[in-house]
């Protein structure tokens, strides 16, 4: 036997037809148990594996999911948001459990990926993870919808368009802000883009606003400062706040990466965390625990998130009913807000 064994080789050795081999390998109830056993034994001995391409071509499904991580073109090329990295871990494991392979790709928003994965039959469905301007992103989603591509997106429920799994950003933002208020902070700045271009950040901002209002505090536009999810943006945002003379005794950053940069800027200006300014982040990336001081934050459960993403997509592929879901967040109090 030269080269890899095929189902014909096994058929020959087992004294059955190739069709029977194919059925036996997939444990078809149509095949006599002893035939199944014999075929599988021979397959094992020959170290035979079903050819993925042949079976996918014939059955028109690949048992593969594609994970597309799209990034803001402005993001540093080498740095991937740690939050997504931990999501990736959980998605990978969930795929394995469901018997799917996972193709991973990082994309720039500008690339022409949207047509590729399903059209070329590389994957049965796509998981979209990313950050960047949602308004720029919508046309891509619409194209996927038009093409009937099966996908699930990590993020907010989109109006009318595809399936999504996201966390309760508004509630998380409200919890974070209420925590700061409870610790007697009254002038709480919000750092992060607060517009429909960044719906997740915007939802966190809305939670922030609601908490302020319920506490009878006023919402001051001067206390909001734009930032995308990078340390640098967090640093710059604090400088901007300081430069324009805005006073604040607490700071709610729309992500941990922003918060970490913000703390550095505060400390560079001689402000103490939490004594002068309490700081709250969002995500609970691994670095949060190690920041100085350790960063209070709103944890997104990446393990559950990854599982839900995969499960939703697989169900969609199987034609089962699916709905977008929202998973709860959890406040993690650490030293950066004072008396954890």
Partner DNA sequence: CTGAAAGCGCTTACAG
Q: Which of residues 147-186 bind its own copies (CB under 8 A)?
A: 147
| Residue where the block lists tokens 């559950």 | 304
Q: Which of residues 73-92 bind its own copies (CB under 8 A)?
A: 77-80, 82, 85-86, 88-90, 92
**Which lies closer to DNA via its Cβ, residue 48 or residue 208?**
48
Take residue 195 and report the two structure tokens written for it: 């517009």
CA 14 to mean position of chain CA atoms: 47
Cβ-contact 188, 248 below 8 angstroms: yes
Phi-psi region of 105 (alpha: psi -120 to 50; beta: other; left: phi over 0): beta
Q: Which of 1, 2, 59, 320 binds DNA (CB under 7 A)?
A: 59
Smallest separation, CB 143 to its own copies (Å):
10
Long-range interactions of 111-118: CB distance < 8 A, separation 24+: 113/68, 113/70, 114/140, 114/143, 114/144, 114/149, 115/143, 115/147, 117/66, 117/68, 117/149, 118/66, 118/147, 118/149, 118/150
Smallest separation, CB 113 to DNA (Å):
19
* Residue 272 near DNA by CB under 7 A: no
Say how far apart CA 217 and CA 294 lie, in whole Å.
27
Site string for its own copies, 260-299 (x = CB under 8 A): x-------------------------xx--xxx-------
Q: Which stretch binds DNA (CB under 7 A): 48-56, 91-99, 101-109, 163-171?
A: 48-56
Nearby residues of 328 by Cβ (< 8 Å), 6 or more positions away: 167, 168, 171, 301
Q: Which stretch binds its own copies (CB under 8 A): 22-30, 54-62, 167-175, 242-250?
A: 54-62
- Kindly list the residues in this chain that would bind its own copies in the complex (CB under 8 A): 4, 47-54, 56-57, 62, 64, 77-80, 82, 85-86, 88-90, 92-93, 96, 101-106, 115-116, 119-122, 147, 260, 286-287, 290-292, 303
């Amino acid at each position: 036997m030269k080269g890899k064994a095929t189902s014909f080789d096994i058929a020959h050795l087992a004294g059955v037809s190739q069709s029977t081999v194919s059925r036996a390998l997939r444990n078809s109830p149509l095949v006599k148990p002893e035939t199944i056993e014999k075929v599988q034994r021979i397959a094992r001995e020959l170290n035979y594996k079903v050819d993925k391409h042949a079976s996918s071509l014939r059955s028109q499904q690949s048992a593969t999911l594609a994970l597309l991580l799209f990034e803001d073109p402005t993001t540093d090329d080498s740095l991937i948001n740690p939050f997504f990295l931990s999501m990736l871990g959980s998605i990978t494991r969930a795929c394995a459990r469901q018997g799917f392979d996972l193709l991973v790709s990082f994309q720039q928003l500008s690339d022409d990926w949207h047509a590729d994965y399903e059209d070329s039959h590389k994957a049965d469905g796509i998981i979209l993870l990313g950050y960047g301007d949602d308004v720029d992103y919508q046309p891509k989603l619409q194209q996927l919808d038009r093409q009937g591509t099966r996908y699930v997106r990590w993020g907010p429920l989109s109006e009318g368009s595809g399936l999504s799994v996201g966390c309760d950003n508004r509630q998380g933002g409200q919890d974070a802000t209420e925590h700061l208020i409870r610790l007697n902070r009254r002038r709480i700045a919000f750092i992060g883009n607060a517009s429909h271009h960044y719906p997740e950040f915007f939802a966190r901002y809305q939670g922030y606003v609601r908490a302020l209002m319920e506490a009878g505090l006023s919402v001051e536009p001067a206390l909001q400062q734009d930032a995308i999810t990078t340390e640098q943006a967090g640093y710059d945002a604090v400088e901007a706040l300081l430069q324009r003379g805005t006073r604040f005794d607490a700071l709610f950053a729309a992500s941990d990466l922003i918060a970490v940069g913000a703390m550095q800027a505060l400390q560079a200006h001689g402000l103490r965390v939490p004594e002068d300014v309490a700081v709250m982040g969002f995500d609970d990336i691994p670095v949060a625990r190690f920041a100085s001081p350790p960063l209070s934050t709103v944890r997104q459960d990446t393990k559950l998130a990854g599982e839900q993403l995969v499960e939703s997509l697989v169900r969609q592929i199987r034609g089962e009913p699916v709905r977008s879901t929202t998973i709860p967040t959890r406040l993690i109090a650490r030293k950066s807000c004072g008396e954890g």
